[in-house]
Chain A
Amino acid sequence: MKILVCIKQVPDMESRFRVNSAGTWYEEQDLAFRLNEYDEYAIEQAVRVKEGLGGAADITVLSIGPDRAVEAIKKGLAMGGDRGVHIKADQPHQMDAWQIASLIAAFARDKNFDLIFTGLQSQDRGSGQVGGMVAELLGFACVTTVVGFELNGAVAAIRREMEGGLRGVVRLALPLVVTCQLGLNTPRYPTLPNIMKAKQKELLTFQAADFPVGDSLVQTEKMYPPEKKGRGLVLEGDVNELADKLAAILKEKAPALR
C-alpha cells in the first residue's frame, strides 16, 4: 500500500496578521508557523492505516512551500511518515489551488499511490479545492470532509460531514483522495525516538519549476481585514432576566433553534 499525505505549513491562527505591501497576502514577519491542523488529521489517519496493515504501507509526506516547510514535513515524519517530499516554492501563495494541485499530481502521477490523504482545507487560504483537484487530475475517486475512515482490503468505508448537520457513509474502492475534517481522529504527539528518527529519514527536494504546470487561473486582487460592522452586545440584569434576553436573541437569530 502506497500512501501520499499532502500537507501545508501555515501561520498559527493566533498570530498577528498584517497585510503585505502588495496588498495581496499577509506579511510573514512575527508569525509563528505550524502544521495545518487538518493535515495533522491526514497524517494521523495515514499512520493508522499503516498500523492497521501491520506496517505494510509506505507513507510519503509532501509539502509545497519555502524552506521553513521542511519543519512541517519533519513533524509528519515524526508522526510516522516514511519519507518526505519538499517541493520548493518561495511564494506559494502566488499559486492558486489549481497550480498547487497540478504540482502534486505531476509528482504523484507515476508513483502508483493507492491512497492520498490531505486536509479539508488550509487554515490560511482555506480554498478547500486542492484535494478535489488532485483527485480529478489523477483520475482518483475523492471524498471530502471526512470524519470516519475504515479500510477493508481495497475498499474504504468513509463517514463524511455534509451540509445542514447531516452525515453520510460512502463505500468505495481505491485509489482514492480523502480530505480530512476535525473529528476524524486525535493526532498523536510524536515520541522522542520518532522525532530523532525523523531527522534521518529520506527527504526528497524538488523545485516547483521541475514540474511544468500551467498559469494561475485565479488571481488575488486584494486582501484586507473584514470591516468592523456592529459590535458586541452586553446584556445586563439578574440571572433570570439575562437568560430570558439570551433565549430571545437566540430564537430570533439562530436558525438551528427554531
Chain B
Amino acid sequence: MEITREFYWNVGHGVTLPMYIFAGLTVAILIYGFVRRIRVYRLGKPLKRTDHLLLRFLRFVKRGLGQLRVMLVKAPGIPHAVMFWGILLLFIGTVLVLIQVDFTDPLFDIQFLKGAFYQAFSLILDLAGLSAILMLAGLAVRRYIYKPKGLVTTWEDYFIGASLTVILLLGFLAEGARMAITELDANPGLAVWSPVGLLAARLLSGLGEETIRQIHVIGWWTHFLLAMTLIASIPFTKLRHLLLTPTNYLFADLREKGAIETLNLEAQVDHFGAATVADLTWKDIYDADACTSCKRCQDRCPAWNTDKPLSPMKVVQQIGEVAFTKPTANLIETVTTDALWACTTCYACQEICPADIEHVNKILEMRRSLVLMQGEFPSAGAMTAVNNIEVNGNPFGMAFAGRADWAEGLDVQHMADGGQVDVLYFAGCYASFDKRNQSVARNFIKICNAAGVKVGILGKEEKCCGEPARKLGNEYLYQMMATENIERFKAYGVHHIVTTCPHCFNTLSRDYRDLGLEAEVEHYTTFLDRLVSEGKLVLKPQSLDLTYHDSCYIARYKGITEEPRHLLQAAGGQVREMERSKANTFCCGGGGGRVLTEENLGRRINVERVEMAVATGAPLLVSNCPFCLTMFEDGIKTGGAEGSLQVRDLAEIIAERL
C-alpha cells in the first residue's frame, strides 16, 4: 500500500472553492489592513534602509527565522522560539498540502507527500503542533499566573493565545478523527508516524463512525475558519509583529552602534529635531508597530528602575499611538519632557530589544526639538553648563586658559610648542578641570611615561568634545565644539588620539567622522592593554580585591569588556563580577548629559549602582569613565557606603603598579 493519506478526506474536494474564497477574503483583509498602516508610516520623513541587501537578508534570517534576539532572554524567549518554529512548520506543512493537492497533482500528476517523506512530514508536524501547544501553555502560565512585573495584558493577548491553542487542538481533533477511521485499525504502521493524532484517534475510537465523521467536519471547518480569522486579524492586533518584527530586522540601522544623524544646520527646514511624528522618519513609526510589548527595555532602563517617568517601551508605543490617532499633535506633550530628560542614553534598551527598535535616537530627536526650537533644558543648571561650554569650552565655566593646569610638572608635550609625539591625549573636561578626575589624567601620563610613549596635549586649545551638549539635544553647540577640535587636530597633523573619557572616545571615534576627523581614536583601556601585551608597559602586580563597573559607552556602545579586565588581572586584581556587567551593565546615571543636571525624580541611579557594587562584597569599585567616577564618588556618600566601598579609576590602579 502507498504510504500517504487521502487529502480532503471526509470533507471532499468540494471544499476547495469555498476554502479559496475564504482564503482570498483573508488575504484581502490582511492587505487592506497593512495598506492602511503603511499610509501612516509614510507620515514620517524618508530614510533609506535598503542598502546592503544581503547583510539585511542574513540579519532577517538569523534574527527572524532563527529567533536569536528573542532567545536573548531565555525564560520567555525559548518557548516563544519553539512555538514560532512549531507554527511555522505547520504553516509550511499546510502549504505543501495545498501545492500538491490543488496544483502539482491535478495539473502535472505529481505527488510528493508519500513514502518516507510523508512519514517524516507526519511526524514533524505532529511534534511541531505538540510543542507549540506546550509552549503556549507555558507562556500562558507566565503571563496569567506568574504575572511578570510590568507585563501588560490586553484582550489581544487572550484572543491570540486562545485562538492559537484552539486552532492547534482542533487540528489534532480533525487528524485524530480521520485516523480513527482510516488508520487506527486499517494502517497501524502508518499511524505511529502521527503519535499525537494517534492518541486523539484512540480517544475518539469508542464513538460511532458517523459521530467521528461529524466531529471531523466540524473540527476541520472550525480549524480553518479560526485560522483565517487569526490571519486576517494580523494588521489589527499585536499579531502584526509577526510580519513587522522580522521585517524590522531588514530595515535595521546598519551604521556603527550609537550613530546619530549629524544635522545640516544650514538646511532650510521648518523644524530641527522632532516635535510631531512628521519630524521623525517612517522607521520611527514602523518601530512602534514592530514593538511586541515584551518590556525587556523597560526592565533594564536605569530611569524606569529608579521610579522615573521614562519607559523606553512607552516612548516607542506613544509615537505609534500619536501617529495612528492624532498625527498632527505635539508628540512631546504625550511623551512628556520629564520622560525625555530622564534618559541617560545608556543604550540598555536597544541592546536587548528583540525587535531591533531604535529607542535612543527617538528620544534624542525630541530633545533636539526642545533645545534647538524652544531653548528648553532639563534644568537651569544644565542651561548654565551649556552656556559655559559655549564661552569657556567646558561645562564648569572654568577659565579655558587653565585647561592644562593638571599637567603642570608632568612630561607632556603641548602641541602648540611643536615637537613630535606618539599619541595625542584628549583629556576632556572632567580630567582637565574636575579635581577628582585630574588624578586620572595625571596617572595616565605617568603610565605613558613609564611605557616610553611620548604624549602630546592640546592644552588650552582643547575644547569640550561636545558630547553632553549633543546628548541634551544641542546639536549646534556640539558641531561648534567638534569643528574647532577637528581643526586643531588637523593643524597639528594628529594621527593617533587616546582618551580616558568614554564619552570623548565615542564622540571623536564615531561622531567626528561625519565632520571630517580621520585620525585613529582609542580609549586608554585598549591602548594600555596593548602596551602591556607588547611588553612595553610592565606592571608589578599587587593583589587587589575589587569589582569592575563597565561604563555604558565602553562596554555597551563599543563592546570593550575584556581589555580592562586583562589590565586589572595584570595589575593583580581579582574581579568580583556584579550581576549586571559587560554588555548588560547598569548605568551610573551620568550619561545623556545627565551628569550636568540634578536628579530630582525617583531614586538616584548612582546609589542603585553603588548598592550593586557593595553587594559583591568587594571593598573597591573600579571604573573607566570620569562621569562614572563622579557619579560613584557622590553615590557612595549619599548612599551611605562610605567606609565599605571606595571608587577608583583603572588608571589610578595601574599607575600604582609601575
Q: Which residues of A contact B (CB under 8 A)?
A: 12, 14-16, 30-34, 186, 188-193, 195-196
B391 touches which of A32, A191, A195 (Cβ 8 Å): A32
Known: A12-B392, A14-B398, A15-B399. A188 touches B375 (CB 8 A): yes
Interface centre among A14, A16, A31, A190 (most CB of B within 10 A): A14
Check if B375 sits within 8 Å of A14, measured CB to CB: no
Q: What B residues does A189 contact at CB under 8 A?
A: 371, 375-377, 383, 386-387
B400 touches which of A32, A186, A191, A196 (Cβ 8 Å): A32
Q: What B residues does A196 contact at CB under 8 A?
A: 265-266
Check if A32 sits within 8 Å of B272, measured CB to CB: no
Q: What A residues does B391 contact at CB under 8 A?
A: 12, 32-34
Contact flags (1/0) for B344-378 with A, using CB distance below 8 Å? 00000000000000000000000000011111110
Known: A12-B397, A14-B397. A192 touches B402 (CB 8 A): no
A195 touches which of B386, B398, B460, B476 (Cβ 8 Å): B476
Q: Is the interface of B mostly helix, strand, loop or mixed?
A: helix
Nearest chain B residue, comparing its CB with the CB of A192 = B372
Check if B392 sits within 8 Å of A191, measured CB to CB: no
Nearest chain B residue, comparing its CB with the CB of A194 = B375
B401 at the interface (CB under 8 A from A): yes
Nearest chain A residue, comparing its CB with the CB of B368 = A192
Q: What B residues does A16 contact at CB under 8 A?
A: 399, 401-402
Alpha-carbon distance between A193 and B386 when the two chains are bound, in angstroms: 18
Q: Which residues of B contact A (CB under 8 A)?
A: 265-266, 272, 371-377, 380, 383, 386-387, 391-393, 397-402, 460, 475-476
Nearest chain A residue, comparing its CB with the CB of B266 = A196
Check if A30 sits within 8 Å of B372, measured CB to CB: no
Interface centre among A32, A33, A193 (most CB of B within 10 A): A32
List, sorted by A's number, 25 A–B pairs whose CB atoms are closer than 8 Å: A12-B399, A14-B392, A14-B399, A15-B399, A16-B399, A16-B401, A16-B402, A30-B400, A30-B401, A31-B401, A32-B391, A32-B400, A33-B391, A34-B391, A188-B375, A189-B371, A189-B375, A189-B383, A191-B372, A191-B373, A191-B374, A192-B272, A192-B372, A193-B272, A193-B373
Check if B383 sits within 8 Å of A192, measured CB to CB: no
Nearest 9 A/B pairs, CB to CB: A189-B375, A30-B401, A192-B372, A34-B391, A15-B399, A16-B401, A32-B392, A16-B399, A32-B391
Alpha-carbon distance between A188 and B376 when the two chains are bound, in angstroms: 9
Q: What A residues does B397 contact at CB under 8 A?
A: 12, 14
Check if A192 sits within 8 Å of B399, measured CB to CB: no
Given contacts A12-B397, A16-B402, 16 further A-B contacts (CB under 8 A): A12-B391, A12-B392, A12-B399, A30-B399, A31-B401, A32-B391, A189-B375, A189-B376, A189-B377, A189-B383, A189-B386, A189-B387, A191-B374, A192-B373, A193-B372, A193-B373
Check if A191 sits within 8 Å of B375, measured CB to CB: yes
A32 touches which of B372, B375, B377, B399 (Cβ 8 Å): B399
Check if B375 sits within 8 Å of A190, measured CB to CB: yes
Q: What A residues does B386 contact at CB under 8 A?
A: 189
Alpha-carbon distance between A14 and B272 when the two chains are bound, in angstroms: 33
Known: A30-B460, A34-B391, A196-B266. A15 touches B375 (CB 8 A): no
The smallest beta-carbon distance between B383 and chain A, in angstroms, is 6
Q: What B residues does A12 contact at CB under 8 A?
A: 391-392, 397, 399
Q: What A residues does B383 contact at CB under 8 A?
A: 189
Q: What B residues does A193 contact at CB under 8 A?
A: 272, 372-373
Q: What A residues does B402 contact at CB under 8 A?
A: 16
The smallest beta-carbon distance between B264 and chain A, in angstroms, is 11
Alpha-carbon distance between A16 and B392 when the two chains are bound, in angstroms: 12
Alpha-carbon distance between A195 and B266 when the two chains are bound, in angstroms: 11
Alpha-carbon distance between A191 and B392 when the two chains are bound, in angstroms: 20
Q: What A residues does B476 contact at CB under 8 A?
A: 192, 195
Alpha-carbon distance between A31 and B265 when the two chains are bound, in angstroms: 28
Q: What B residues does A190 contact at CB under 8 A?
A: 375
Alpha-carbon distance between A34 and B380 when the two chains are bound, in angstroms: 18
Alpha-carbon distance between A33 and B374 when the two chains are bound, in angstroms: 25
Alpha-carbon distance between A104 and B553 when the two chains are bound, in angstroms: 53
Q: What B residues does A15 contact at CB under 8 A?
A: 392, 399, 401
Nearest chain B residue, comparing its CB with the CB of A190 = B375
Nearest chain A residue, comparing its CB with the CB of B401 = A30
Q: What A residues does B460 contact at CB under 8 A?
A: 30
The smallest beta-carbon distance between B274 and chain A, in angstroms, is 14
Alpha-carbon distance between A191 and B377 when the two chains are bound, in angstroms: 12
Q: What B residues does A33 contact at CB under 8 A?
A: 391
Alpha-carbon distance between A15 and B393 when the two chains are bound, in angstroms: 12
Nearest chain A residue, comparing its CB with the CB of B475 = A192
Alpha-carbon distance between A31 and B393 when the two chains are bound, in angstroms: 12
Alpha-carbon distance between A190 and B393 when the two chains are bound, in angstroms: 18
The smallest beta-carbon distance between A92 and chain B, in angstroms, is 20
Q: What A residues does B376 contact at CB under 8 A?
A: 189
Alpha-carbon distance between A12 and B393 when the two chains are bound, in angstroms: 12
Q: What B residues does A32 contact at CB under 8 A?
A: 391-393, 399-400
Alpha-carbon distance between A32 and B391 when the two chains are bound, in angstroms: 6
